[in-house]
Amino acid sequence: MPAMRRVSSSAKPASAATSVRSMSAGPLDLSEVRCDNVQQLGGIRTGTLDYPNAGGHSHAARVAMINTGSPLRFVVALDRGGDIVEAFHGPHSLAYLSPNDYAPPSLAARQGILWLDNWPAGLVTTCGPRYIGPPRKEDGLDVALHGNHSNTPASIEMLVNPDPARGRREMLLSLIIREARMFQPVVEVRRQIQCLLGEPMIHIYDQVTNRSNITVAHNWMYHCNFGYPLADAGTRLVYRGKAMHIGREATAASLKRFKTLAGPRPEHRGKGEDVVVIDPQPDRQGVAHVGLVNARLGLGVELEYDVASLPRLTNWQHLGPAGSYVTGVEPFCGSLLGKDNDKHPKAAQWLEPGQTRSYHMTIRVLEKPQLKDLLRHDGEMTVAKW
What is the SS3 string spanning 351-368?
ECCCCEEEEEEEEEEEEH
The whole-number pLDDT of residue 366 equals: 98
Per-residue pLDDT reduced to its tens digit, 247-259: 999 999 999 999 9
**Residue 56 pLDDT:** 55
Which of the four CATH numbers 3.40.50.261, 3.40.50.300, 2.70.98.10, 2.130.10.10 does domain 43-383 have?
A: 2.70.98.10
- What pLDDT does residue 81 have? 97
* pLDDT the model gives residue 159: 98
User: Three-state SS across 113-151?
Assistant: CCHHHHCCECCEEEEECCCCCCCEEECCEEECCCECHHH
The pLDDT, as a whole number, for residue 55 is 61
| Amino acid 18: pLDDT | 36
Task: Provide the pLDDT for residue 75.
Answer: 98
Q: Domain residue spans in the chain?
A: 43-383
Burial 36-55 (b: 16+ CB within 10 A, else e): eebeebbbbeeeebebeeee
pLDDT of residue 386: 72
User: For residue 312, what pLDDT is reported?
Assistant: 98
Per the DSSP assignment, residues forming a β-bridge with 358 are: 207
Spans of the chain, pLDDT less than 70:
1-31, 53-58
pLDDT of residue 57: 52
Residue 211, pLDDT score: 97
pTM (whole model) above 0.85: yes
Measured distance CA(384)–CA(312) in Å, rounded: 12
